């Protein structure tokens, strides 16, 4: 599909041309100086606490604790690692947990910006309401190797395998934690989890009691408000209900004009938790949203000419979900959960889709003998999709109902209790396109000392075909040939097979007292049967008129390759007031075509759509008098396909907290650079605009 963008900043370096692309970005030396300036500002912001931190701070006054009364002790808030987190620290996987505290300290106002802090997750903002997010490479607007779950319900769309991040707009204050697992989570989570799983877990209703009003106003986030109330119903039920409104401004496009990508969303939602006894609990949650967004993209009005027109579409968004979860604890080491959900969305964008998905899932965990812990589960999903389609993207057939059966079993065996564990697991799925598929994993974890863990894993993960892989009809361009109009079209392949990956991982974790923790992961991925686009024999059609010859390009699985990389991050409590968290990720991807392939774009796109190096640094500084100061800096290396120069992003914010009642935050985002580009979507469905510097103020009041 052709997308034409030009950015002139001086200096010229023409981009390599792919058959159907014509993307030229000129990189200037001025942008390099800006990056240096950005880095310097970041250094100053981070080094300042060193200069101003008082020299010696008294350690916790331990004696005070034992002299305090029981009532006083019971009123002290503890920031602790939850049991789940403790277990995660011994997990044989590359897990990064974004805690509620991380969310509170971050200047992010949406989930994509929160994910930037995770090494190995590539976050690139395309325009004000679209993002390209992937784990360990292969990024794109509909990057499909990442599974995203919200309280156990998957929120990716089976149409493309990707996620609509704009409508994942839940109140950040209600998030308990986000577990980000880089690497194949397919054996536990399912076939879309080839390179990662993002598991968003919301707080129980009992943790969000009372009233909360949160209002944000700023230059980009023009108006943002959440009002929430939580309370207790009779007996053992706690609830919360919220209403959230968001209105976000447009970004500028490359020529400085308004990008047409402003958007607004309204949402109402609730959650109830009922504890029937010490062994059974029932949770209900749901929400409804409605909104509109400007979607700058390209439009194709006719098969013949002129092929691509820039257009700013007004897209209506709507949807909601309802979920029920029953948790039963049979004993201290066994229990099960049963979950049922229904979710629906509609977007009248280029595809014009309405989709409703029902899912029911059961999971059971139990100890078997002295040394084994077994988890197994089964799930059934039924999804119905209706699409309208356009010349840019349509599906054939436009309406489709699909079923998914999925089951998994995992056995954790203690070779040496509390020291060494081997976990074997397998997931077996039956999906609409490729029937049965099994994804096994073997993991080994060794805890040589109480706070050290070493782990190894080998897993196979498959990406099963999404509807677009099998059914897409997308017009790419056209010209007038000797025998009349000729149209180039991308066609899905009903015989498209699974993309496979075998991943080898190793990791090491250590924490020293409460002061310092370090996590290292290295991986090697062997990819097979990756997606390519192959020219096929032309044929003649009469619709859509005028009658024309079609030069088809069909999806096939003719690319193989490997990727390897590493992720490292640390958390360092420098003193009682100052904590810094640095991170770094390396991603190297090398793909090659099967000799039978005639593809010209897939190798470059797979190798170049994510940065080789990326780094993060977060700093939290508790100042005097209830003020705290947070800064985060992110460095993202350049991309080669699309061609995007490297950039450094710096966010910083000052927060004043008054007891537990109110807080005021003034924060700036993208402070280092006024405008920069992060991604270009190759499907043409979302045009690129420039992410710009912004400032906001946030007032939160609890009562």
Q: Contact residues for another protein (CB under 8 A)? A: 41, 44-45, 48, 52-54, 57, 59-63, 65-66, 68, 70-71, 73-83, 206-207, 209, 219, 252, 255-256, 278-279, 329, 331-333, 367, 370, 418, 450, 513-514, 576-577, 621-627, 629, 652, 654, 666, 668, 671, 674, 692-695
CA distances from 19 to 3, 12, 240, 483, 602 (A): 12, 21, 54, 22, 11
Q: Which C-beta is closer to another protein: that of 447 or that of 614? A: 447
Q: What's the min distance (Å) between Cβ of 86 and another protein?
A: 8
Q: Which is nearer to another protein, 52 or 309 (CB)?
A: 52
Rounded Cα distance between 153 and 199, Å, is 9
Nearer to another protein, 423 or 694 (CB): 694
Nearest distance in Å: CB 418, another protein: 6
Dihedral sign (CA 78, 84, 88, 93): negative
Separation of alpha carbons 216 and 223, rounded Å: 6
Residues contacting 185, CB < 8 A, separation 6+:
93, 147, 193, 196, 197, 461
* Locus of tokens 């992410």: 691
Give min distance, CB of 6 to another protein, in A: 13
Q: Which residues, 6+ apart, have CB-to-CB distance to 309 below 8 Å?
A: 298, 299, 300, 301
Rounded Cα distance, 461 and 187, in Å: 7
Min dist CB 625 to another protein, Å, is 6
Cis peptide before 419 (omega within 30 of 0): no
Residue 42 has phi, psi (to 5 degrees) of -60, -45
**Nearest-approach distance from CB 202 to another protein, in angstroms:** 15
The CB-of-227 to another protein minimum distance in angstroms stands at 20
Smaller CB distance to another protein: residue 331 or 542? Answer: 331
For residue 666, the minimal CB distance to another protein (Å) is 8
Q: Smallest gap, in angstroms, from Cβ of residue 138 to another protein?
A: 34
Smallest gap from residue 697 Cβ to another protein (A): 12
Q: CA geometry: angle at 691 spanning 569 and 319, to 5°?
A: 90
Phi-psi region of 685 (alpha: psi -120 to 50; beta: other; left: phi over 0): alpha
Kindly list the distances between the CA atom of residue 664 and the CA atoms of 41, 215, 384, 633, 696, in Å, as whole numbers in the listed order.
24, 10, 45, 22, 11
CB 71, min distance to another protein, A: 7
In a 3-state reduction of DSSP, which class is residue 470? helix
Q: How far is the CB of 407 from another protein (least distance, A)?
A: 26
Nearer to another protein, 68 or 403 (CB): 68
* Rounded alpha-carbon distances, angstroms, from residue 155 to 35, 442, 613: 36, 27, 29
- What is the DSSP secondary structure assignment for residue 602, as one 8-state letter? H
- Phi-psi group of 319: left, alpha or beta (phi > 0 → left; psi -120 to 50 → alpha; rest → beta): left
Of the candidates 612, 642, 615, 614, which has an alpha carbon nearest to the alpha carbon of residue 254?
Answer: 642
236 vs 248: CA distance, rounded Å: 39
Q: For residues 494 and 514, what is the distance between their CA atoms, to the nearest angstrom?
A: 54
- SS3 state at 89: coil
Question: SS3 for 272?
Answer: strand
Tell me the closest approach of the beta carbon of residue 624 to another protein, in angstroms: 4
Task: Give least dist CB 619 to another protein, A.
Answer: 12
DSSP string across 650-677: EEEEEEEEETTTEEEEEEEESTT-SEE-
Smallest separation, CB 578 to another protein (Å) = 11
Concatenate the DSSP letters of all residues of 506-518 into one string: EEEEEEETTTEEE
Least Cα distance to 298 among 684, 692, 689 occurs for: 684
Closest to 136 measured CA to CA, from 677, 607, 645, 702: 607
CB of 83 to another protein, least distance (A): 7
- Give one word for 256, left, alpha or beta, with left for phi > 0 and alpha for psi -120 to 50: left
Judged by CB, which is closer to another protein: 100, or 501?
100
- Identify which of residues 67 and 483 has a Cβ nearer to another protein in the complex: 67
The conformation of residue 64, written as its DSSP 8-state character, comes to: H
Task: Closer to another protein by CB, 59 or 542: give it.
Answer: 59
Q: Tokens for 653? A: 């914010």
Nearer to another protein, 528 or 693 (CB): 693
The residue count for the chain? 703
With respect to another protein, which residue has the nearer C-beta, 171 or 611? 171
- Smallest distance, Å, CB 232 to another protein? 13
Assess contact for 596 and 558: CB atoms under 8 A.
yes
Q: Which is nearer to another protein, 66 or 483 (CB)?
A: 66
Question: H-helix or E-strand containing 408?
Answer: strand 399-416
Nearer to another protein, 252 or 398 (CB): 252
Residue among 146 and 201 whose Cβ is closer to another protein = 201
Cβ proximity to another protein, 207 vs 344, nearer residue: 207
Question: Which three-class secondary structure state does DSSP give residue 140?
Answer: coil
CA distances from 167 to 129, 198, 388 (A): 9, 16, 20
CA distance 370 to 373: 9
Q: Which is nearer to another protein, 102 or 607 (CB)?
A: 102
Shortest reach from residue 692's CB to another protein, in Å: 7
Which residue, 289 or 621, has its beta carbon nearer to another protein?
Answer: 621
Query: Which residue do the tokens 């290292």 mark?
Result: 520
With respect to another protein, which residue has the nearer C-beta, 42 or 92?
A: 42
Give the residue with the Cβ less far from another protein, 27 or 186. 27
SS3 258: strand
Q: How far is the CB of 221 from another protein (least distance, A)?
A: 14
């Amino acid at each position: 599909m052709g997308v034409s963008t030009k950015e002139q900043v001086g200096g010229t370096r023409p981009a390599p041309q792919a058959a159907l692309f014509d993307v030229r970005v000129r990189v200037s030396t001025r942008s390099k100086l800006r990056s240096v300036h950005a880095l310097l500002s970041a250094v100053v912001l981070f080094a300042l606490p060193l200069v101003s931190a008082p020299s010696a701070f008294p350690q916790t006054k331990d004696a005070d604790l034992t002299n305090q009364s029981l009532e006083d002790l019971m009123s002290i808030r503890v920031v602790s690692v939850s049991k789940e987190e403790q277990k995660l620290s011994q997990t044989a996987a590359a897990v990064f947990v974004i805690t509620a505290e991380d969310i509170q300290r971050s200047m992010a106002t949406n989930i994509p910006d929160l994910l930037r802090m995770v090494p190995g997750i590539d976050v690139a903002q395309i325009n004000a309401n679209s993002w390209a997010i992937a784990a360990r490479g292969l990024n794109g607007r509909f990057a499909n190797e990442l599974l995203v779950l919200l309280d156990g319900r998957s929120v990716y769309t089976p149409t493309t395998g990707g996620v609509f991040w704009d409508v994942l707009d839940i109140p950040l204050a209600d998030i308990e934690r986000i577990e980000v697992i880089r690497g194949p989570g397919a054996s536990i989570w399912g076939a879309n989890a080839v390179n990662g799983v993002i598991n968003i877990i919301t707080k129980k209703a009992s943790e969000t009691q009372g009233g909360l009003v949160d209002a944000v106003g700023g230059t980009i986030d023009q108006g943002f408000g959440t009002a929430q109330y939580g309370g207790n119903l009779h007996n053992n039920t706690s609830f919360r209900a919220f209403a959230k409104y968001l209105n976000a401004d447009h970004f500028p496009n490359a020529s400085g004009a308004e990008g047409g990508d402003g958007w607004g969303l309204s949402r109402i939602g609730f959650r109830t938790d009922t504890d029937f006894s010490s062994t059974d609990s029932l949770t209900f949650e749901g929400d409804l949203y409605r909104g509109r967004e400007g979607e700058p993209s390209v439009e194709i009005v006719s098969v013949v000419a002129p092929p691509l027109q820039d257009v700013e579409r007004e897209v209506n968004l709507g949807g909601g979900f309802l979920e029920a979860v029953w948790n039963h604890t049979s004993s201290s080491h066994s229990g099960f959960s049963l979950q049922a959900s229904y979710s629906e969305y509609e977007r009248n964008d280029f595809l014009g889709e309405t989709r409703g998905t029902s899912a029911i899932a059961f999971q059971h965990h139990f100890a078997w003998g002295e040394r084994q812990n077994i988890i197994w589960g089964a799930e059934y999903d039924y999804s119905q999709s209706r699409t309208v389609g356009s010349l840019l993207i349509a599906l054939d057939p436009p309406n489709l109902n699909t079923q998914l059966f999925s089951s998994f079993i995992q056995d954790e065996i203690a070779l040496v209790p509390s020291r060494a564990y081997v976990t074997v697991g397998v997931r077996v799925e039956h999906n609409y396109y490729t029937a049965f598929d099994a994804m096994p994993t073997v993991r080994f974890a060794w805890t040589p000392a109480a706070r050290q863990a070493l782990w190894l894993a080998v897993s196979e993960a498959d990406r099963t075909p999404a509807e677009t892989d099998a059914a897409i009809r997308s017009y790419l361009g056209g010209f007038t040939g000797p025998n009349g109009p000729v149209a180039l079209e991308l066609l899905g392949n009903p015989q498209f097979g699974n993309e496979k990956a075998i991943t080898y991982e190793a990791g090491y974790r250590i924490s020293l007292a409460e002061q310092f923790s370090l996590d290292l992961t290295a991986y090697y991925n062997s990819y097979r049967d990756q997606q390519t686009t192959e020219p096929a024999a032309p044929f003649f059609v009469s619709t859509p008129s005028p009658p024309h010859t079609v030069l088809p390009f069909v999806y096939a699985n003719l690319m193989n390759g490997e990727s390897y990389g590493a992720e490292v991050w640390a958390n360092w409590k420098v003193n009682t007031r100052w904590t810094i968290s640095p991170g770094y990720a390396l991603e190297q991807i090398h793909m090659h075509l099967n000799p039978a392939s005639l593809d010209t774009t897939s190798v470059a796109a797979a190798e170049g759509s994510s940065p080789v190096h990326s780094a993060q640094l977060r700093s939290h500084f508790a100042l005097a008098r209830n003020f705290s100061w947070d800064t985060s800096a992110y460095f993202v290396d350049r991309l080669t396909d699309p061609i995007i120069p490297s950039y450094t992003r710096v966010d910083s914010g000052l927060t004043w907290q008054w007891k537990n009642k109110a807080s005021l935050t003034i924060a700036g985002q993208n402070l280092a650079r006024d405008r920069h580009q992060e991604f270009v979507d190759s499907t043409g469905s979302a045009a690129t605009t420039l992410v710009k510097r912004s400032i906001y103020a946030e007032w939160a009041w609890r009562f």
